[in-house]
Amino acid sequence: MARILIVDDSPSQLLGLKRIVEKLGHETLTAEDGAAGVEVAKRELPDLILMDVVMPNLNGFQATRTISKDPTTSHIPVVLVTTKDQETDKVWGMRQGAKAYVTKPIKEEELTATLKGLLPA
């Protein structure tokens, strides 16, 4: 069972992601914006982070870059989960250090496959 941090400013998206992740048997941590997500990531060192992009304070691209550049958290895979579905957004997200990119609305099978691919068996 992995500990997964979900960072999203939308309560309904947060709840939906939490439901899918917990159904797979994982423990969830949550944060409501990028700055809080970076804080929780440093404090809790989760096994994986699901990161929204469009958020107040620190957006998901900035938070991902901060997490992937910090020696304490750089080993944690970040999956960007966003409505931004342009190829340029995906390329930019991967350049910030994301290991995967999933677009909303979330398809449970796609998210499950992504998590299985990034978490140790």
Domain boundaries, the chain: 1-116
Q: What is the pLDDT of residue 121?
A: 74
Q: Is 106 exposed, middle or buried (0-12, 13-18, 19+ CB in 10 A)?
A: middle
Q: Is the pLDDT of residue 110 over 90?
A: yes
Mean pLDDT of the chain: 97
Task: Kindly report, residue by residue over 62-103, the tens digit of the pLDDT.
Answer: 999 999 999 999 999 999 999 999 999 999 999 999 999 999
What is the CATH class of 1-116? alpha beta
Give dist(CA 8, CA 40) in Å, integer: 13
Task: Kindly report, residue by residue over 30-39, the tens digit of the pLDDT.
Answer: 999 999 999 9
- The confidence band for 43, taking pLDDT boundaries of 50, 70 and 90, is very high
pTM of the model: 0.97
